A = this chain, B = another copy of it.
Amino acid sequence: MIAELVSVGTEILLGNIVNTNSVYLSEQCAGLGLSVYYQTVVGDNEERMKAVISTALERSDVVILTGGLGPTEDDLTKEVTAQLMGLPLVEDSHSKELLEKYMKQYEKNNPQRRITSNNYKQALVPEGSLVLDNHNGTAPGLIIEKNGKTAILLPGPPNEMKPMFEESVYPFLRKKLPETIFSQVVKICGIGESQVAEDIQDLIKAQSNPTIAPYAKVGEVHLRITAKGEDEKECKKMIKPIVRELKNRFGRNIFATDAEKSLEEAVVDMLKDQKLTLALAESCTGGEIAARIVNVPGASEVFGHGYVTYSNRAKRKCLGVKKVTLKTDGPVSAKCAREMAKGGCIFSDADICLSITGLAGPGGGTKETPVGTVFMGCCYNGKVITREFHFTGNRGKIREQATAHALALLRECIMEGINKK
C-alpha cells in the first residue's frame, strides 16, 4: 500500500520551522509496512494545494496531510480535500460541543480575550468522515475514505498531531493493512559502527524476514529488526532468535532492547539496581554528561554531585587535583582524569565518579595534544581506570561524542564492578 505525506504551511517553505512531522510520520509508516514514495510541502494557497492534493490522491492509496486545519481563512486543507473528493462539509455536533467547552475554558483563563466566531469553522467536517478528537487543541483530525482512497487530515502542531496519530490513526492503518509489521530495536554502545556492520555481515546477507537494519547514532549503534507476519505474536516469535543471536555476538555492549530506552536511562537503571551513587567531574563537556543523567526522571535517587571544573583552579579546589599534575602532565592528561575521578569520589562520598578532561577546540591544540584529545577516568571501589580518545569535528561535535563515550565507559565500569563482587 502506497502512502504519501503532504505538509501544508508557508512557514515550512520559508525555512522558519523544521518539518519534524514528516520524519515522525515516515518512521511510523515504515514501521507499519506502508511504502512512502513522496513527501510534499505546499504553502497555504488554495490553487497550489489543489494541485498537490489531487496529484497525491491520484498516485497514492493513503495521503496523510498535516497542517491547515485551524480557524483562520488561510487554513484550507479540509476545504480543498473535501472538494477534491466530492464531499460537502457538514456540522459535527460532537466536535462543536468539544470546541465550545474548550473556548469557555480559554476565556475563563484569559478574561481579556474573546474567541472569535470563525472558530466554529473547525466543527465542520466532510460528510461521512471519521472525526478524531483533539485532546491538545481545537482542530479535530479527520479520516476520509472514498473510491479506495484514504485521506487522513491531522493538525500541524506536533504536540497535537503525534498523540492523535498514536491514539486513532495508527490503529486505523494497522487494521487496513493485510500483514502486521513489527520491529524491535537492539541498542549497542562501546563498539563502532563499522565493527558492528562487519560482525553482522552474514546475518544481513542471509536476511529476508525478519530484516536487520543498522543505524549509527553518536556513540551508539542501533539495530532495527523488522518482521512481517500475521499478527504481533507471530512477528515477535520471528524476532526472538535474532535478538538472541545478537546478544551472543555483542553481549554486554547491548544496553537496551527497546526503542524508548536511552543510554543514560540504562546507566541510571543499573545504578539503582546496584544501589550505587554517582558523581561526575567534567571539564571539556562542561555539564553535558550531568544534563544527560538528569534527563532521566528520578535520577536524584543515584546522582547527587556534579562538578564542572572548567579551570585548573576548580580542578584543584573541588577535586584535589595536584598542582604538579597540572604543571607536568597538564589538565588534558590521563593523570589529571585519574585524580579528578578519585577526588570526585572522595569529596562527594559517591560510590562511583566519572571524570572527563579534553580539548574541544577550536583553539589550544598542539602537536602532542591536538584538538579532539579527551581523557576519561572512572573511579569505583577505590580503583581508577582511564581511557584516551581522539575525536574529530567541531567543538560541539567533539563534546557530543565525548559525552556519549563517557556514558558507555561509565556503564562498562559499573558492569566490571558487578562482575567482581
Contact = CB atoms under 8 A, between A and B. Distances in A.
A7 B25 CA distance: 17
Interface in A358-405: 361-363, 395-396, 399
A218 interface: no
A34 to B, nearest CB: 11
A314 B20 contact: no
A164 interface: no
A348 B314 contact: yes
Contacts of A105: none
Interface stretch (A200-208, A234-242, A298-306): A298-306
A294 interface: yes
A284 B306 CA distance: 12
Contacts of A37: 13, 42-43, 45, 48
Contact of A309 (B12, B293, B305): B305
A257 to B, nearest CB: 20
Nearest to A277: B311
A38 interface: yes
Contacts of A348: 314, 317
Interface residues of A, number: 69
A295 B395 contact: yes
A164 to B, nearest CB: 17
Interface in A22-56: 22-30, 36-43, 45, 48, 52, 55
* This protein's copies in its complex: 2
A138 interface: no
Contacts of A310: 290, 294, 299-300, 303-306
Contacts of A23: 15, 18-19
B40 A38 contact: yes
A148 interface: no
A256 to B, nearest CB: 18
A158 interface: no
A15 to B, nearest CB: 3
A287 interface: yes
Contacts of A15: 22-30
Contacts of A313: 304-305, 349
A409 interface: no
Contact of A363 (B48, B297, B396): B297
Given A15-B28, A37-B45, A300-B311, 17 more contacts: A13-B36, A14-B26, A14-B36, A15-B25, A15-B27, A18-B20, A18-B23, A38-B40, A286-B294, A291-B399, A294-B310, A295-B395, A297-B395, A304-B313, A304-B314, A313-B349, A317-B347
19 contacts: A15-B23, A15-B25, A15-B28, A15-B30, A16-B27, A18-B23, A22-B41, A38-B42, A40-B40, A286-B290, A287-B289, A287-B294, A288-B291, A291-B291, A295-B395, A304-B313, A305-B313, A305-B314, A305-B317
Interface of A: 12-16, 18-20, 22-30, 36-43, 45, 48, 52, 55, 215, 280, 282, 284-291, 293-295, 297-300, 303-311, 313-314, 317-318, 347-349, 361-363, 395-396, 399
